[in-house]
Structure 1
Amino acid sequence: MAKRDYYDVLGIPKGSSADEIKKAYRKMAIKYHPDKNPDDKQAEENFKEAAEAYEVLSSPEKRQRYDQFGHAANASSANGGGYGGGMNMEDIFSQFGDIFGGGSPFDGFFGGGGQQRGGGRRVTKGSNLRIKVRLNLEEIANGAEKKIKVNKQVLCGTCDGTGAKDKSSFQTCKTCGGSGAVRRVTNTILGQMQTTSTCPTCNGEGTQITAKCNVCHGDGVVRGEETISINIPAGVSEGMQLSMSGKGNAAPRGGIPGDLIILIEEIPHETLKRDGNNVIYDLHISFIDAALGTSIEVPTIDGKAKIKIDPGTQGGRILRLKGKGVPEVNSYHRGDQLVHINIWTPKALSREERELLEKLQSSPNFKPNPGKHEKSFFERMKEYFE
């Protein structure tokens, strides 16, 4: 696939200044940052594409060559891969981590559970919460909305999560000057080496609190309760985990909230058994109904359904109710209900019943004949799934 024009990637005209290029890159990097778009491959590619464009356009020499030859200049590059090519995520963060002077271009926007890449101002992330949600078969088949009270860390209402007594309680960190990072220059045999690390005084926050909130004691969070509405899609199964972004514990001092992890637990049905997306029901009929045939109502997820028992039905036969099973998650396909026929035999007989059965016992129709029997249970199961 042909590469897009670098100016189009950053959304700027060709004659843009260095500051305009930097501002445009920062905007694109924030939009497609992997912390903001987890598990989004397209966002990751856009993020890399923006970094590649900035690498070229921020360098006067590379920009001049690009303006003259475009992407064709890659073929004559001495590194064999061309400018901007083959960049990975670590290259991007290490190379552009402090282009805005005082930490990463993403300072104040992303957390990742602690310190930012590049040693800039740190934004913390709250811890995740895990809860169990119990669902019956009807809720699993049709989807459900659950309102659940969750005990967790919430933002302090007194200080709005800042941890400070009031606005005047903040002061700029004197060690890092508010950047959240400190830089050190070390003389080595290769020359001077500059390193950037989180400020040890303010822990990367850039500010210090002179007077803490009396309620949260400077943490910015307190224990509280929140009612969360959870929309559970149809077709979930036992042990499946769902995630709600930002519904976990609040983070100290205005950080990013953690996630809420929902573990699905199925409540066994009284009469129906789930087998993947299919539902199984064991139907017991008398040998008289099996011999003469009948119509019987059976339970399903959606209520009652009437099925026909043909005369001469054998034990072990499987009847299928198409589309009466459980749907697949995020799909229109739905499983079936399989009705297993079982012949019920009475254990106690009256004298009249016994005499009647003894007369029938001598009839050829009541003597087993394997050659005339229908296919076995296992043969029918094999044919069904084939």
Structure 2
Amino acid sequence: MNLHGRSVLAAALHLILLAVWIGSIAHRGTAGRDFYQVLGVPRDAGEADIKRAFRKLALRMHPDKNPDDRLAEQKFKELSTAYEVLSDNERRRVYDTYGEEGLRAQAAGPAGGGGGFFEPFDLFEQFGFGMPGGRTGRRRRQAHSEGDLPPGPELVLDFPVRLEDLYNGAVHEVAHRRQVRCAAWFRSCEHACNTCGGRGIRIVTRQLGPGFVQQIQSTCDVCGGRGRVAQEPCAACPHGQFETQERVLMVDVERGAAEHTRIPFEGEGDEGEHHAAGTVVLVLRSLPHRRFWRGAPGTDGAAHLHHNVSITLAEALGGFERNITHLDGRAVRVARTRGHITRAGDVLVLRGEGMSAAGVRAGSSAGDLHVHLQVQMPRDGALSVSEMDALLRYLPKSGEGYAEVAPRTLFMGDAQEGAGRVAPSDVHQEL
């Protein structure tokens, strides 16, 4: 066989092997990880559905939100990879046809460029999110050549939260607008100061007399000590040195968080001409609740909850039962059995139904729920003369039939009292 024939045969064999390889990949389909399952979307999901699913899961699965999960970072990277593939029409087409092997082949080939996937936390940053502690903020500062600029001033803001959020824990998305330096500023719009040679200081030499010279070091008055000056105007930054950036701060209100708890977001403040981004601090402020109020925390950080309940005179004398809807939606039963007289101002205490300390898992030590009882008396004229006579006939006369009027604190764990939890469907009278 001549040289031309061998070349044709080799090319044919190459094409056959390539077809077999592609066929094996196509047969396997989406072998490997199921990116649709990772994002929790159907295979025909649109671009908006995929973006919405990633945004929701990214907030919940971010490693900063799951510090005790050793696999949190791995899960977050897998989530980011799934989004990066399915949000790109070309990569999604390759994945749907050939699975992950097809993506690897595409990345390794000349057309793929070996680009690989986005760094997952950069992807989170692109969505405009900031987490407490500033992981994304730190990454952003490191990405720019800001030199040794000190951080800017701390910005402290009140953040009002509901008592339900402090009792159960919650995550809030807070829109945040800040001033940032144009990304191209350091690269294209600044140059070393010609006056000080980029050192930020000037040395002035003065002749004091024959043989006497004085050198004075001072901050360069041209660059302000930075060593760099701006090139005005700068074509790379049409809005000037600074522009407005929209951010979303993920405010993680921890279960049992105390009033005035500070939640810092490092690197989420404004950038300035002479400083890098500072820290934004949100200070929790509890909003008044129409039914509950929170007492001062104890030495362990737990706090009691308080709640008012009004009962009638008949219930004070003959017993009562109430179901209180708690801050987590549960119905909690409070009762006094017949034969136990309730006095105005008595307090029923339900152990462990108050606020836990911050960082304590659910079911652990918590404060108590104090139910303050208020006795409603009948209005003038509500009882007829005969009804009043009948009532007075059975009430004890003054003397040993009456107790001290001081209110008492009654723990619902005592044998003579009734307390417990009931399903919401069992609620008879909600308080």
Of 337-346 and 261-270, the range deviating more from structure 2: 261-270
Correspondence for 2:346 among 301, 317, 320: 317
CA RMSD of aligned residues (A): 3.6
Stretches of structure 2 that go unaligned for 5 or more consecutive residues are: 1-137, 139-146, 297-302, 411-431
Q: Note if 1:248 corresponds to 2:269.
A: yes
Shift of 1:238: 4.8
Secondary structure at the aligned position of 2:311 is classed as: strand
Q: Note if 1:373 corresponds to 2:403.
A: yes
Shift of 1:149: 0.8
1:222-371 correspondence to structure 2 within 5 Å: 222-252=243-273, 255-276=275-296, 277-302=303-328, 303-310=330-337, 311-330=340-359, 333-347=365-379, 355-365=386-396, 367=397, 369=399
Stretches of structure 1 that go unaligned for 5 or more consecutive residues are: 1-108, 110-120, 382-386
Q: CA 1:281–1:334 in 2, change beyond 3 Å: closer, same or farther? A: same
Assess if the C-alpha contact under 8 Å between 1:122 and 1:204 holds in 2: no
1:102-117 correspondence to structure 2 within 5 Å: none
Counterpart of 2:392 in structure 1: which amino acid?
A: Q
Deviation string 1:65-124 (CA, Å, 9 cap, x unpaired) is: xxxxxxxxxxxxxxxxxxxxxxxxxxxxxxxxxxxxxxxxxxxx9xxxxxxxxxxx8625
TM-score (norm 2): 0.50
Assess if the C-alpha contact under 8 Å between 2:313 and 2:378 holds in 1: no
Counterpart of 1:259 in structure 2: which amino acid?
A: T
Counterpart of 1:297 in structure 2: which amino acid?
A: N
Q: CA 1:194–1:144 in 2, change beyond 3 Å: closer, same or farther? A: farther
Partner of 1:175: 195
Q: CA 1:250–1:298 in 2, change beyond 3 Å: closer, same or farther? A: same
Correspondence for 1:148 among 174, 181, 186: 174
Number of residues of Structure 1 aligned to a counterpart in Structure 2: 251
Counterpart of 2:325 in structure 1: which amino acid?
A: P
Q: How many Å separate the matches in 2 of 1:224 and 1:216? A: 14
Q: How many Å separate the matches in 2 of 1:218 and 1:272? A: 50
Assess if the C-alpha contact under 8 Å between 2:258 and 2:358 holds in 1: no
Counterpart of 1:309 in structure 2: which amino acid?
A: R
Shift of 1:294: 2.9
TM-score (norm 1): 0.55
Deviation string 1:263-297 (CA, Å, 9 cap, x unpaired) is: 32322212112222222111111222222223221
Secondary structure at the aligned position of 1:362 is classed as: helix
Q: How many Å separate the matches in 2 of 1:209 and 1:343? A: 75
Shift of 1:307: 1.4
How high is the sequence identity, in percent, across the aligned residues?
Answer: 21
Q: How many Å separate the matches in 2 of 1:350 and 1:209? A: 85
Partner of 2:223: 202
Assess if the C-alpha contact under 8 Å between 1:134 and 1:265 holds in 2: yes
